Amino acid sequence: MTAYYKPQRIRNIYDPKASQPYKISRSKLDLFIRCPRCFYMDRRLGVGQPPGYPFNLNSAVDALLKKEFDYYRQRQEPHPLLIENGIEAIPFLHPQLDEWRDSLRRGIQFQIPNTNIVVTGGVDDIWINSVTQELIIVDYKATSKAGAVSLDADWQIGYKRQAEVYQWLFRQNGFSVSDTAYFVYCNGRASEDRFDKQLLFDISLIPYLGNANWVEPSILKAYECLCASEIPSHSADCDFCQYALALSNATARHCME
């Protein structure tokens, strides 16, 4: 079996002496917040964390939701979910929407002044408030769990930061953006009596009041991290760091025996 993970890469590595624009994605900024060392190892030295396997079912839900909201976008009508939840908005129609959704190659972008850092992010959807004309950041999520979905778990802080980065990026591109983002959360029903070749979902619209004040200071700190000559210390809260540290210590003890 061929390994799917290549631990060392030679492309897309940050060079402090280079002047050409260097992209940092929303997910890499989140990596910096979680662990500066892993961020440095990835972006500066080309050694990234092993990736998780793709969630193909989640990707299918994402694709279908986009098709569904695009149907109402082209007609400039509110989606039934918006009507049911009393949200005065319609899907935002813009010629750059497909570009903004393309997280791998384009996305919504902004270059940080006096640096070569370009921050990027691929948004799931954008709505526009019918009254205020503010843009509303929308993110799709899929899961299957008993009970109602929420944003209350500690690990979901990453979801919230994700929405706030998008809010910040669109504001930097000159758009008026609502502080309230929405998560279209699809919860697969495991309680049905039969499968019958279909998976049914309950869909919730969860509002989130964002605060993007942390975004630019964090980007500047990430930039300083990339420009530094020293590797940041192991993070006590990072499983990857703790594994690497334990592995190094165990190897050293074994060699001394």
Instruction: Report pLDDT digits (tens) over 55-64.
Output: 777 888 999 9
pLDDT tens figures, 123-132:
999 999 999 9
Q: Is the pLDDT of residue 148 over 60?
A: yes
pTM for this model (two decimals): 0.92
Q: Whole-angstrom Cα distance, residue 233 to residue 146?
A: 40
Q: How far apart are CA 148 and CA 132, in angstroms?
A: 30
Paired tokens of 8:
């060392």
* CA distance linking residue 185 with residue 143, whole number of Å: 8
Check pLDDT > 90 for residue 52: no
Average pLDDT of the residues in 205-216: 96
Q: Which residues pair with 139 in a beta bridge?
A: 183
CB-based contacts of 117: which residues, under 8 Å, 6+ apart?
21, 22, 24, 111, 219, 222, 223
Give the sign of the dihedral formed by CA 48, CA 52, CA 56, CA 61. negative
Q: What is the pLDDT of residue 3?
A: 64
Measured at the CA of 127, the angle between CA 123 and CA 129, to 5 degrees, comes to 145
Whether residue 1 has pLDDT greater than 70: no
pLDDT band at 150 (very low <50, low <70, confident <90, very high): confident
Whether the CB-CB separation of 117 and 22 falls below 8 Å is answered with yes
In angstroms, what CA-CA distances link 12 with 9, 120, 160, 232? 8, 14, 27, 20
Mean pLDDT of the chain: 92
Q: Are strands 117-121 and 22-25 parallel, antiparallel or unpaired?
A: parallel
Quick one: pLDDT at residue 4? 72
- Classify 162 in phi/psi space as left (phi over 0), alpha (psi -120 to 50) or beta: alpha
Q: What percent of the chain has pLDDT over 70?
A: 99
